[in-house]
Amino acid sequence: MYQIDFKNPCHVHFIGIGGISMSGLADILLDQHFKVSGSDSKASPLTELLEQNGAKIYIGQRASNIEDGTDFVVYTAAIHPDNPEYQAAVQKKIPMLTRAELLGQLMTNYKTPIAIAGTHGKTSTTSMASHIFLAADKDPTISVGGILKAIHGNIRVGGHETFITEACEYTNSFLSFYPKISIILNIDADHLDFFKDLDDIRHSFRLFAEKLPADGTLIINSDIPDYTRITEGLPCSIITYGQTDGSDYTAQNITFNELAHGSFDLIRRGENLGRVSLRVPGIHNVWNAVAAMALGDLSGISMETMKKGLDDFSGADRRFEKKGEIGGITIIDDYAHHPTEIAATLKAARNCPHKTLWCVFQPHTYTRTKALMDDFAKALTLADKVVLADIYAARETDTLGISSKQLAEKINQLGGDALYLPSFDAIENYLLEHCIQGDLLITMGAGDVVKIGENLLGK
């Protein structure tokens, strides 16, 4: 693999530079005086900002974008070998790195690289940890998988002490990382278009844990079934958190206010460190906060500073994000696209004031919908009314004979109340006719379902 010499900045080209992660990495290299060029299919606020910061941006991907003198090329999983820029780089024998390989090498340029992994909760926990480190004036460099208001985007270029990033398991991206501290939040069956089964996923998380050096630390949720199979024999320090007896960190006396925001006592090895109040909903965010505070405590950050950081955090974009109100109907948007996430979000929503809880769900990928159909149906019965949009194909083309209409039938068989409608226009018209004052409407999914709520609000 090509090794970047950060002491000698050179010319890097990004294929697909407009993506939220790629644009952030390009921004970090610009700050470190690299010459950055890149291409994307269309201009966006992210590409415009990169241009303002000194990057050369091409709209449209063509072989001529790969200039002579380019030292290395970075590409995402969405770029295939038939891409003209990919082919040009190969023909010119220019070294190539995946996005994950670049991120992994960037981590080695920091004293304390921190990687936050798990099937769910990565963005929320990374955001919480970021707020804690910002409150402590640690000047962290941050890469988060969503828009975080505190840093006005998805990236923050800070000092060279601390690097905080999400670590995604899909395509084993996180195995290219070199963390000093890692967090594993949970391990569930997901991304079954890549992984064979849950055991295969657990094996990858074990390999991720093995990336830690002997003087590193793994913070892991002790409620993960057989979590010791992930930790046994590791040379690094192990810190546990969760409900399991004997966990190093746990939450007690958990309560929720009328907005479903949690409060709890943080307990460290039997010692009550104090009461914590969150500004994000749901029991899942209580445990995300415990993980982030275990990290903060390990890093020498005081309890008062951690509480201040969390008090400043009201959620990342598309994580139980209130979009607005119309006609007395509250509209929320959430990124949940796995049954565990859906159940957590709907349980949180049920604690919010409402007459009828509506969920407009857009399944994400055919393989995930097929593999987890029964789990999706069960989770969605937690809503009073479910409206299903067509499956968002994302990277896939094969329908596998699966449809949202089948999911609606499954939900109804379980006693739920679900309806499939074939277009966003049809869904919006149906909601306008049937939602009433006092209802709570959640648009949910990892695709473009957010547009439905925004259209209803006239945004």
Element containing residue 52 per DSSP (H, E): helix 45-52
Q: Where are the alpha helices (DSSP H) in 277-354?
A: 283-298, 303-311, 339-350
Catalytic residue among 47, 101, 122, 211: 122
SS3 193: coil
76 marked as part of a ligand binding site: no
* 166 is a catalytic site residue: yes
Nearest by Cα to 353 from 281, 275, 277 = 281
Q: How far apart are CA 11 and CA 70, in angstroms?
A: 5
* 217 is a catalytic site residue: no
Please state the pTM of the whole predicted model. 0.81
Residue 381: both structure tokens together: 């019965």
Q: Where are the alpha helices (DSSP H) in 351-403?
A: 366-371, 373-380
Residues near 277 by Cβ (< 8 Å), separated by ≥ 6?
A: 261, 262, 263, 307, 310, 311
Written as one string, the DSSP assignment of 402-444 is --HHHHHHHHHHTT--EEE-SSHHHHHHHHHHH--TT-EEEEE
Q: How far apart are CA 433 and CA 416, in angstroms?
A: 20
Q: How far apart are CA 174 and CA 221, in angstroms?
A: 18
124 marked as part of a ligand binding site: yes
Nearest by Cα to 278 from 251, 298, 299, 301 = 251
pLDDT at 195: 83
The beta-carbon contacts of 89-92 under 8 Å, at least 24 apart in sequence, are 89/13, 92/66, 92/68
378 marked as part of a ligand binding site: no
Q: How far apart are CA 92 and CA 103, in angstroms?
A: 24
Q: How far apart are CA 373 and CA 412, in angstroms?
A: 13
Amino acid at 122: K
Q: What is the CA radius of gyration of the chain?
A: 22
First to last CA, the chain: 46
pLDDT, mean of each 10-residue run, the chain (459 residues): 94 94 92 96 91 96 96 91 96 96 94 96 95 97 86 87 93 93 92 83 97 98 97 98 96 91 96 96 94 98 98 82 92 92 91 93 93 96 97 82 95 97 96 96 94 92
Catalytic residue among 101, 166, 341, 428: 166
121 marked as part of a ligand binding site: yes
120 marked as part of a ligand binding site: yes
* 323 is a catalytic site residue: no
Catalytic residue among 35, 47, 85, 123: 123
